[in-house]
Amino acid sequence: MSKRFYITTAIDYVNGQPHIGHAYEKIIADVIARSRRSLGQEVFFLTGLDEHGQKVQQAALAEKKNPQEYCDAIAADWLTFAKRLELTNDDFVRTTQPRHKEYVQSTLAKLQATGHFYKASYIGFYSAREETFLTEKDRRPDGTFDPSYGEVVELKEENYYFKLGEHQQWLIDYIEANPSFVQPDYRRNEVLGFLKNNKLEDLCISRPVARLNWGIPLPFDPEFVTYVWFDALVNYASVAHAHNELGLWPADVHVIGKDILKFHAVYWPIMLKAMGLPLPKQVLVHGWWQKDGARISKSTGNVVDPIAVINEWGLDAFRFYVLRELDIGPDGNWTDAGFRSRYQSELANGLGNLVNRSLSMLKRYRNGVVPAQSNELAADAAKASDETRALLKQNQLQSALQSIWGLVNRANQYVDQTAPFKLAKDPAQAQRLDEVLYNLAEACRVLAVLLWPFLPGTSTKIYAQLGLPGAPEKFDASSWGGLTAGHTIGEPAPLFPRKDV
Least separation in angstroms between CB 244 and ligand MSP: 21
Q: Regarding beta strands 289-291 and 282-286, do their DSSP bridges make them parallel or antiparallel, or are they unpaired?
A: unpaired
Going by C-alpha positions, the residue among 245, 266, 285, 128 that lies closest to residue 197 is 266
Half-sphere exposure of 293 (CA within 13 A, CB side): 1
306 versus 420: smaller Cβ distance to ligand MSP: 306
Report which residue type is found at 116. Answer: H
Least separation in angstroms between CB 264 and ligand MSP: 7
Least separation in angstroms between CB 233 and ligand MSP: 5
42 versus 259: smaller Cβ distance to ligand MSP: 259
Least separation in angstroms between CB 228 and ligand MSP: 8
Q: Closest CB to ligand MSP belongs to which residue?
A: 257
Least separation in angstroms between CB 371 and ligand MSP: 47
13 versus 454: smaller Cβ distance to ligand MSP: 13
DSSP labels for 448-466?
Answer: HHHHTTT-HHHHHHHHHHT
Least separation in angstroms between CB 175 and ligand MSP: 19
102 versus 157: smaller Cβ distance to ligand MSP: 102
Count of beta carbons in the 10 Å neighbourhood of residue 316: 22
70 versus 365: smaller Cβ distance to ligand MSP: 70
232 versus 408: smaller Cβ distance to ligand MSP: 232
Burial class (CB in 10 A: 0-12, 13-18, 19+), 409: middle
257 versus 492: smaller Cβ distance to ligand MSP: 257
Burial class (CB in 10 A: 0-12, 13-18, 19+), 233: buried
Q: What distance separates the 2 farthest-apart alpha carbons in the chain? A: 92
15 versus 159: smaller Cβ distance to ligand MSP: 15
**Could you give the residue ranges of the DSSP H alpha helices within 276-367?**
306-313, 315-325, 336-342, 353-366
Residues 247 and 396: their CA atoms lie apart, in Å, by: 26
Q: Which residues bind ligand MSP (CB under 6 A)?
A: 10-13, 21-22, 24-25, 50, 232-233, 235, 256-257, 259-260, 288-289, 296
Least separation in angstroms between CB 376 and ligand MSP: 43
Strand partners, 50: 13
| Helix, strand, or coil (residue 257) | strand
Going by C-alpha positions, the residue among 483, 487, 491, 489 that lies closest to residue 439 is 483
- E strand or H helix at 371, and its extent? none
Least separation in angstroms between CB 285 and ligand MSP: 9
